[in-house]
Amino acid sequence: MEDAICLVNQFIVLDLFIGYGVYSLLVFPFFKRSQWIGKLDDAANKVIAGCGLIYLASFFIMVNLTPPPQVSDARYWWALWIQPILWLFATQLVRIDSVKRSILARIAISLVLIFSFERFVIIVTSFHRDYVPSGWASSAGSDMIPAIVLGLTLKGMIFCAVAYGYRYLERKLKRPDPVNP
């Protein structure tokens, strides 16, 4: 059961949160006025808000199933809880209409969802090591850029497919209005 919950968390974090971040950074600011993008955006916001709640539930299940880490008395005990709290607040902020329509708020939410606390620490320490002469020869250079772009594109496409699937199911399951057929 732990493996299944871990896979759900990984799918939500690695594919849907990052995919929503890519979608919000690339599609929303440029094509916001299009009608079909508006409908996709509504579905995307509902999907990401639901994914935030599913992530929270599965995170608490994982915390209760796994043995507690020995960081509760450590100096950086708060670091374990920063990212789940940030993801929860970021995903639930898109329920607010003014946040949904604000480009700056969406960019901020996208950056929170794409760059986790762990990735931030890795990036900062990588920049720190780049200034040491022994680290100059170990950089991958531009070999990784196509893989990163392809990975982000695929994550955005996966998220858009999930949002379109949600929108399709929402339309199919919606009951017709008996007053206005």
Q: Is the pLDDT of residue 138 over 70?
A: no
Higher pLDDT, 76 or 7: 7
Closest CA to 109 of 123, 94, 98, 127: 94
pLDDT at 67 over 90: no
Q: How far apart are CA 79 and CA 36, in angstroms?
A: 40
Q: How confident is the model at residue 49 (pLDDT cuts 50, 70, 90)?
A: very high
pLDDT exceeds cutoff 70 at 132: no
For the chain, the residue count is 181
pLDDT of residue 99: 92
Q: What percent of the chain has pLDDT over 70?
A: 83
Give 125's pLDDT tier (boundaries 50, 70, 90).
confident
Asked if the model's pLDDT at residue 70 lies above 80, the reply is no
* 114 within 8 A of 21, measured Cβ to Cβ: yes
**Taking a C-beta distance cutoff of 8 angstroms, is the pair 37, 160 a contact?**
no
Average pLDDT, the chain: 83
**Within 10 Å of residue 15's Cβ, how many Cβ atoms?**
17
Q: At what angle do helices 35-65 and 18-26 cross, to 10 degrees?
A: 160
With bands split at pLDDT 50, 70 and 90, how would you rate the model's confidence at 178? low
Reported as a pLDDT band with limits 50, 70 and 90, residue 76 is confident
The Cα–Cα gap between 160 and 50 comes to 15
Residue 82 has pLDDT above 80, yes or no: yes
pTM of the model: 0.81
Report the candidate in 13, 8, 25 with the shortest Cα–Cα distance to residue 153: 25
